[in-house]
Structure formats: structure tokens, C-alpha cells
Amino acid sequence: MSATATATPSMMATAIRALAMDAVQAANSGHPGAPMGMADIAVALWGRHLRHNPTNPHWADRDRFVLSNGHGSMLIYSLLHLTGYALPIEELKAFRQMHSKTPGHPEVGMTAGVETTTGPLGQGITNAVGLALAEKLLARDFNRDGHTVVNHNTFAFLGDGCLMEGISHEACALAGVWKLNKLIAIYDDNGISIDGKVEPWFGDNTAQRFAAYGWNVIGPVDGHNVDAVDDAIAKAKKSADKPTLIIAKTTIGKGSPNRAGTAKAHGEALGPDEIKLTREALGWTHEPFVIPAEVYAAWDAKASGAKLEAAWDERFAAYAKAHPELAAEFKRRMAGQVPANFAQAAVDAVIKANTEAQTVASRKASQLALEAFTAAVPELLGGSADLTGSNLTNTSHTPNLRFDAAGLPNNGRHVNYGVREFGMAAIMNGVALHGGFIPYGGTFLTFSDYSRNAIRMAALMKIRVIHVMTHDSIGVGEDGPTHQPVEHVSSLRLIPGLDVWRPGDTAETVVAWTMAIGNATRPSLLALSRQNISYAAKTNVDEIAKGAYVLSEPAKGKAKAVIIATGSEVQLALKAQEQLAAEGIKVRVVSMPSTSVFDRQDKAYKKAVLPKGLPRIAVEMGVSDYWWKYGCAAVVGIDSFGESGPAPELFKHFGFTAENVAATVKAVLKG
């Protein structure tokens, strides 16, 4: 992009400042300070370095841009509008309004050109680490001598709040050891947060902190000097083995005579009087939302972007001629399509599980399933937060990922995230957003509390990320209540758009994995047992994929009640069914590995599984409140924290025995 003689970099930056203050004022809501303060940085990056094509926001080899300080959303909306994305000025006028493409914080899938949903501070820079990791590994998988088809940078803007959040430490430390040299973060060092000057509560030496992580650190530079920022970015792009942090000193609300440099500029509209003064101070005489033609011309990136993509298309055509199979595989993976042989691998795995009828912990069943799927699906990228031997997320097809001194990765497909559950979850979000990989990662279910907000963000973004959460109940035993999840499964089920699976044996575990890998628009979470689970014979494994199914009917006659169970408690339900049958009491056992999937079935199927008129008793080693939604007459659950002790003793203590389940059913039938 080249600016015209009249549209100077200063004018380009002023256009951003004007759009930011006008949109926030029109909404009477928002954060004008960061966009106004970072406008010159944006000119340097978006005007001189960013490789993108506004007419094709999904071009595979585009640079990725993340606004980690997502409250400053008018910065990215202004840039997308000015450079030529499908974001007309009417959408900026509708900032923060219902059904607009300019929501309060940037949302992927809502606005063309937005790469990730940001707002919860620290997660954007962590997503950026995932994006950069995916780029490096995709380059490893597909680039060949003389043919470079994956070669782009990941840029992130971030502020003080992102650095104060602990997740930034988790992610940036990993970026250093992974030597993500194509990750460039620009820190808006304005010294202001909502509560005022950050000095009393944020005294970190940021430069030393990032140097200790193994990053290049450039600056501080004057964030209002476009040429200085331009030079810093050019230097950062030359890094061969380190990510780069550029520290840019700025004034929040730059241009506002009375609000610049104050917390007042951070999170509220400037007001009509201050906007009038700001226009005068900036020499911007135009009406609100009016941008001169020469400024549009200076910002317009459509022609240059199309040229960049066309050049890549030529390179890819030559690549496809030299390596046709690799080219086809690249297209498939970037399109998010599972391999053609995946369905057969899934069927074979289910048949194998049903035939062998193994009694194993569902975490082990998960690893058995992964043996098949990691062979059939090369884009599966596994990992664990320092619990590989417990989560069993590794397979013979997924060696540990390692980087040499030059920053080049081996052929590893299993990531050791270290004790960083939150960072792992948000990095996986970035990997999924980049495309080309399906990430999965493991930890203990009780530690989902650490990563919950990133799990929520995956659901909000509708991306395919798979969480493997083991040690799913008081069956953890001697580790005690700190490690025994009680409320976790139910609380995770409350996240809209997240499929939680709690499989009851090997076949259900295989189906859970099949559904998780095959669903491109939902994250999934598998809650898996530490203790062994007996296999339950099945006549129709296809119905497992519907989230709940009739596992066992009475041998003769009609059922008088339904026992609903999940996970390891399915075997309790079956044993209780046997005991009740010996007393002439007939019950149906329904296994419900995924409540959300079952809830999406049609009314006829749900009625067939849970007929009206039959009392229902739920059995799950977790809080009972969740199960009342299914019209249960009783719940065998646990509404307290656990205890330290051997698992069999805990089961008896908390009433998770076949005898207690049978007694509960009889009590319900007696009324």
C-alpha cells in the first residue's frame, strides 16, 4: 500500500482516532483511549507490513493479527473498514448495537478479518502463541525444498491488562522455548488502566521479563513515531529463533486535549464538547464518520492484497505440480475436513471396542481410541499440562514435540505444556483458529477451573478443540477433595455450545472421540475415569452418538422406572437393575454419555429413551442439581466435597453402591 501525497501517515492515524471517538460517542459506550493511543502503531503495521487481502479474509498464507486488548475494538474495526474489508461505515455507526458486525469486543465469525474473539485480557496474546505455533508446524509438514507455501507472521497488540493476567506468563514462556520467531507482539505501554495510573499495582520490568522468556525485546520506542515503529517491526521480522516484543510508549487517548493520558480516556465516551476540542486539536474538520477520499485511497489494501495472494497462488500451483499429494492434503486440512478414511477408522474402532469388551479405565479407553485416530488423522495435535502419564494423551503416532537450537521443530505431535492448564486451553484455541490442526490437550477434570474461561471462549467461537479431562470423580481416591471433581461436569455442561462427554466404557469413549473429531463447529470435553469400568454389552452402538440410549431393558415385561447413569456409574445402574429384577422390579437402564447431544435430538427419540409416566432416577458422582431438568424423581449424587481415602471406601461412604441405587428406586416406586 502506498499513501498519496496528501494523505500523510498523520492523516491516516487521525482517521482512526476520529472513527474511534465518533463510534464510541454514538454508542455512548466503549473504549476510545486505546485506539486513539495506538493509531500510529496501526499505521506502521497495517500500512507498511501486514500481508493480507481484504477481498479474501481466509487466504491461507495471510499474516494473522490479534487485538489482545480487545476492549479497543474500534481500532480493528477502523482498520478493517479503511483497508477495504466488508465492513461498511454503517456498521461503524452501529458500534455495539444489536445485530451489527461491530460488537463491543471483536468476535471471530462475526466480522470479516477478525481472527479471534478477544476481550478477556491475556487470552488474545495466548491465542497468538497458538497461531504462531500452528504456522511453524504447518510449515514443517508442508514446505519442501524450493517450495515455501506456509510463511507468515502473527502480530498481536496488547496492553498492561494482558500482561497483568497470569495467562500471559504461561503462554509467553512457552513461546520462548518454542522459538516462535514469527510471533511479533507490540505492547501499548501507556501506563493507564481503568483504575488510573498502573504504577502502584504494576511495577514489572516487562523488558527483563520477556528477555528471561527467551524473547527479543525492542524498545521502548516512541509509539507515536510511525517510522520508529516501522523500523522496530522490520527488525523483529528478521528474527530467526526468537519471538519479539516491541515496547511502544504511547499516550492513551492521544489527541484529546483534556482526556489524553488519563483513565477517563480508557472506558467512556469523550463527550460532544471534548470531541469538538479534539477535532480542532487534530485539525480534523470533517463531520462524524466522514473520511476524505485521499485517506481511503492511502489505506486501501485491496489491490496490494490481491497481488500478494496472486503471487502465492502461483507458488502454490508450482508446489501442487511438484507435490500433488501434499497440495491436496494441505487444502483438505486448511478446509477443516477430516480424512476420507476417518469414518472407517471410527467404525473399526467401535467394532473393536464392542468385540473385545475390555474392562479398562475410560482414560485408557481414550488412549486406545487415539491410537486409531492419530494414525488416521495426521492433523490431530495432542498434549497435556504435565500429566501425560495420567491423561494418556500420547500414542505411538505422536512423539513429543521438540525444537532444536535453530528453532526448527522435530516431527512431534504431542505438546508438553507444563503446568499451564489455562495457557494450554487458550493456545489450543489459537491452533484451531489458524487451521490445519485439530488440537487436544489433557489435565485433571478438577483443574478445568483453571482453564474454564478459555473453554468458554472456544464454545463462543464455535471452534473444534478437544479437552481430555481425566480423574473425573471421587474415584480419584486418596488424593482427596482437592483433586476430586464434584461440581465440575455439571458446571461445564452449562456452557452453551460445549459438548461434554462422560463415557461409560470403551465403545462410548470411541464414539465420544469420533463425535469430537468430526464436529467442526463445537469444542468437546471428555470426562474420563481413573478407575476401571466394566464393559456393558450393546445391541446398537449407533445410538451412542445420540448422547443417550437405552442400554438395558428388563428381561421380561415392561419397565416400571428408568435409571439414568453416566460414566463409571453405568455399571452401578446395571447391577442395581439385576438386584431389582431378582425382587420382581423391572427397570430400564439409560446410559447418557452426553447430555447436550441428547438434548439436540428430536422429541420422538427423547420420548422413546425417556418415556413419559416412568419415574426417573439419575446416578452420577457429582452435584445432584443438574439432573432435575430431566424430571427425575430422585438423584443419587454428591452435594458435598469428597474425602481422602481408597475409592471403594468412598463409594460406599457416599452411597455409590448398587444396593443404594436399588433402594432409591424402590423408595421412588413406593411413593
Which residues are known catalytic residues?
421
Compute the distance between CA of residue 102 and CA of residue 381 in angstroms, rounded to an integer.
33
The amino acid occupying position 386 is D
DSSP H stretches of helix in 151-248:
160-164, 166-177, 206-213, 226-236
Q: What span, in angstroms and rounded, lies between the C-alpha atoms of 16 and 230?
A: 18
- CB atoms < 10 A from the CB of 168, how many? 25
Tell me the torsion sign for CA atoms 329, 334, 337, 338: positive
Give me the sign of the Cα torsion angle 209, 115, 501, 344: negative
Instruction: Report the distance separating Cα 453 and Cα 466, nearest Å.
Output: 15
| Measured distance CA(477)–CA(575) in Å, rounded | 22
Contact of 388 with 366, CB cutoff 8 Å: no
Residue type, 490: S
User: What residues contact residue 377 under an 8 Å CB cut-off, 6+ apart?
Assistant: 338, 339, 342, 345, 438, 517
Look-up of cell digits 522468556: 213
Q: Which residues contact 584 (CB under 8 A, 6 or more apart)?
A: none
In whole angstroms, give the CA distance from residue 190 to residue 103.
24
The grid cell for 449 is: 477451573
Backbone φ and ψ for 483, nearest 5 degrees, come out as: -115, 5
Contact 518, 338 (CB under 8 A): yes
Nearest to 570 by CA among 666, 443, 473, 464: 473
Q: How far apart are CA 162 and CA 423, in angstroms?
A: 13
